[in-house]
Chain A
């Protein structure tokens, strides 16, 4: 047994995931800023992210094949293709989290940055990014978990008759399963557990510190690194020097007092500022247009991939497909409600009891980060005899689909709510204690409204991500070698069945219908609820110091 190889593969996968998470955070900040500054961009961006978050990783394979494997080719082609698939798993919820945080920046803080004519860089560095850190941090748990959930289909994938793979624990597990090397699988799971424990432990510390430092009057004490080595301070100093230099440069470009044509603190903008503002506006507008064109183009590609003669058949099958979509939405709603119930109970307990958090949080994180597709067949083998003896087949199948759907997404709303509760200001907790509010009253009147922006993000990502788990559960041929998991009606089963039989056109038609519904949901649900959150539910605005 090459334990060293397993250890290295685990390290490679974790390194890959962390780098891609960092990339998604950086890109998320930039896109979120564009979204809050331009309504046009926002109208395209929110449904775009919702659609991409809802479409399972596997749907990206044709793009990956075309752009990376054929375009780049060789080792780097496969590596970048795998990175793209991992990026797909980690980025969307981070993007939505950053957007949600930017959207709910307290107005009085925004006024300060406008008042002192902060440049784009300063606004980002001094306000938007610090304000978003607790919410972005809360999404890191989900991103890390999601990356591992899909690692076996991200690092190794088959297109046609060719299998592509890159070095990592996902590839290793897939190969062990193919070789029936269960010892190898178990060792891999142990190493994943160790890696997950280390990373989630670090994320735990990061989340508490980020809430302590960047949350408004949270109950957590700010930790300072007074015991750190001098080397750390030197590194920080170098970083500060660099940022100071950049800030000065930015100020020279943008701040009235540092520009050549000084016209007083509130004088009219100079040509360079005007040009930059016009450029930014044009950029956001262009990006919005590009996104809309991309969506339209993708939809057209899918639509025109269908031969004309099959249109009639598609239109005839549409009522049934809509019915199947309805059935799947019902499953998604049940999964989301279960995830929400867990978040409001266990999530609340963990957020308010430090000792419970220290013991139970790593368990929740481990469950969420463990790739369910790797161990679910074992769960099936262990439970199938009982279920088949006590329940009708349709019921037991629904339980498995629910379990897979739940495992694929429960942590989004759980971790978002968890961090949201921690960010509630101390003064609010004292008011709750002072007036002896019951758990129900606290939840209804203060905790849920106070964490509303976090819940919108969490529920949105939970709904979007439930599809992937449901897709795996609705159609899983030979799950244990002798039985297949298959629901009677379900859109995801329909897609999986058609993909496996090579009927891409049917899958494309239902995907198009689905994308339209998801885009509408993105505008109606995510954007409107986010608007409501901005108007009414910014908890930081509740603590007022005149």
Chain B
């Protein structure tokens, strides 16, 4: 699991936030489940946020990897943040459906996700 990035929100990138989300999930569920659940959420969220079509997860050898739009490597902007929020809004209900409150509670404890308003809301984690 990668360590949580520190610094202000403006110092973060969308790629870094997505990596944090991926790593936090993969630490608990493994990369196979993480990739699949994110793919499901991406499919749903991309209708509202077409930029999410640029996020891909795929199997590479014995593990899974992801790619994000090149623009996500730049400083975090509002458009990328809105896309990530749309993604998490689709993802968290899926996680609750599959695992109850266990995974979303773990994600809710990730400080950087909380600062970026990407952490699950209290009603989801309950």
Q: Report if A and B associate in a common complex.
A: no
